[in-house]
Amino acid sequence: MKYKFTPLFFLLPSISLLIIIGIIPLFPILWEALYLHIVATPVPPTFIGLDNFRNIVTDPDTGYYFGITFLLAALVLLTEIPLGLGVALLLVRKFRGREIFQTFFALPLGIAPIAVGCIWVLVLRPEVGPLTRLLAFIGMEFNYMASFWTAFIAILIMNIWRWTPFITLALLPALVSIPPDIVESSRIDGATFVKTLRHIILPTIKTPILTIIFIRLMDTLSIFDEVWILTGGGPGWSTRFISIDIVRRVIFETDYGFSSALTLIVLYITISICWLMLTIIKGGKLVEES
């Protein structure tokens, strides 16, 4: 009986940290969300109830920012997961120079987000960028800030370049843990690579893949640093993802009330997606059977 609360004792530091940095700050945000509070004006905070939330739901610009954020998240997952899995399948096999390739392939993971944005600004800048010079050499003019789609594709490529190595390194241990005799037996039985991938490899690594989707989805919904450096939300406000919108409303417009309500909505959406992903990972059951 005296050991009943021992696990809770060891969890106490983590729980305390979660309460301090994760739960307590929610109360002033909840308070701000119920007020019209623009710091740059001399008007004191005015209680408006749920009007901030109502304005968010009816504001077409905010809907657009949510839309392009989820579009980026969907395209990131649809491209990075197959690419990461393909490279992981390649690295499972032994070949000359595999360790060197793996080292250089993983380098983007060690670069800070702001530095990633700076690198891609230099790569894509029309005046000095090597990519734009290469395209100009073959007769193509490219300016990634010319339109929404060029800027969006530049952000997508930058994201793929940085995070595909993470997916590869995360899936590699799962692929290595697959018993080789199972794969070899399928080959002896005449199964093609596609059938082996579909019926043996993917079901075996389903949980790691879902976990990676969960992590990458959360990262993409909160993307800010590299996009801010690369496009600044432009051209115009066409790549103003929801995280950029919140930061601009807080820092430049000093609209604390609207920003707080928007933050809470993003938090609610994120928690809902987390709950859904955890349900899928646990096979549709939120509580393990005893």
151-164 pLDDT tens trace: 999 999 999 999 99
Q: What local confidence, expressed as pLDDT, does residue 96 receive?
A: 86
Q: Is the peptide bond before 235 cis (omega within 30 degrees of 0)?
A: yes
Write down the number of H helices and E strands in the chain: 15, 2
Residue 195 reports pLDDT greater than 60: yes
**Considering the chain, what is the average pLDDT of its residues?**
88
Mean pLDDT of all residues in 26-55: 91
User: Does 25 have pLDDT greater than 70?
Assistant: yes
Burial class (CB in 10 A: 0-12, 13-18, 19+), 57: exposed
Measured distance CA(190)–CA(246) in Å, rounded? 55
How far apart CA 47 and CA 32 sit, in angstroms, is: 9
Residue type, 199: H
What pLDDT sits at residue 127? 78
Tell me which of 98-107, 131-140, 254-263 is least confident.
Answer: 131-140
CA distances from 223 to 69, 227, 229, 244 (A): 9, 7, 12, 8
210-252 pLDDT, tens digit each: 889 888 988 998 899 999 999 999 898 899 999 999 999 999 8
* CA torsion through residues 198, 199, 205, 210, sign: positive
* Maximum CA extent, the chain: 78
Task: Give 79: exposed, middle or buried? Use CB within 10 Å, 0-12, 13-18, 19+.
Answer: middle
Quickly state the pLDDT bin for 55 (edges 50, 70, 90). very high
- What is the rounded average pLDDT of the residues 25-51? 90
Domains of the chain: residue spans and CATH: 63-241+262-281 (1.10.3720.10)
The answer to whether 259 and 249 have CB atoms below 8 angstroms apart is yes
pLDDT at 289: 45
pLDDT in tens, 134-148: 877 787 777 899 899
* DSSP for residue 108: G
Residue 286: pLDDT band (50, 70, 90) is very low
In the predicted model, is pLDDT for residue 275 greater than 80? Answer: yes
What was the pLDDT predicted at 257?
Answer: 93
Q: Quick one: pLDDT at residue 172?
A: 92
pLDDT for the residue 35: 93
Helix 256-281 and helix 242-251, axial crossing angle in degrees, nearest 10: 150
* Relative orientation angle of helices 256-281 and 206-221, to the nearest 10 degrees: 180
Q: Which residue has the higher pLDDT, 116 or 3?
A: 116
CA 213/CA 80 separation, integer angstroms: 10
Task: Give the integer Cα–Cα distance in Å for 76 and 67.
Answer: 14
Higher pLDDT, 32 or 181: 32
257/187: higher pLDDT: 257
